[in-house]
Amino acid sequence: MRHQFSIDLPVRNEWANVDLLRTSILNCFTAVFNDVDGCRSMAMVVGELLENAIKYGAWSGDERGFRLKVVGEENLARITVENPIEPTDPTIADLMATLAWLQKFSSADEAYRARLLEVAATPRELGSSKLGLARISYEGSCRLSAEVDGKMVRVTAEMAY
């Protein structure tokens, strides 16, 4: 039996909220679904996307928060995190390039291994491995996409449940 569900929350831009929401998603879905590993994967994807939103969001103006949406229909869950950006920020081009790069591979496993080999072969600055999205796709068994709408970016992970 597949369940339909929907969560749509405005979230304050605070690091503590990442763990609160990751744990809340894990607890909510563990109460509903038998697949505990799948629930952990969903909670991990939520947490990682929220961390990216806080890390790369444009938080200098009146923007105080972002939005988390988790929707499940049939056998597909969509996790979307929306946050403010500066459209000219180079991290947006990096995000889109990384997502395009991930889609070139036949599987998330193949892309993750390729990124690991690249990271191992190329010295980089701390925190600039570009491994995060490949890891989310691989560990979450999900397909990632993003869209820019003015001064907002929406990153979506789609995963079977």
pLDDT of residue 7: 96
CATH homologous superfamily of 5-160 equals: Histidine kinase-like ATPase, C-terminal domain (3.30.565.10)
Please give the Cα distance from 100 to 108 (Å, whole number): 13
pLDDT of residue 96: 96
Q: Residue ranges of the alpha helices (H) in 65-129?
A: 90-103, 108-121
Please give the Cα distance from 103 to 111 (Å, whole number): 8
pLDDT of residue 152: 95
Q: How do beta strands 152-160 and 5-12 pair?
A: unpaired
Q: Where are the domains of the chain?
A: 5-160
pLDDT in tens, 64-110: 789 999 999 888 999 999 999 998 999 999 999 999 999 999 999 99
- Left if phi > 0, otherwise alpha if psi is -120 to 50, otherwise beta: which for 94? alpha
Ranges of residues in the chain with a pLDDT under 50 are none
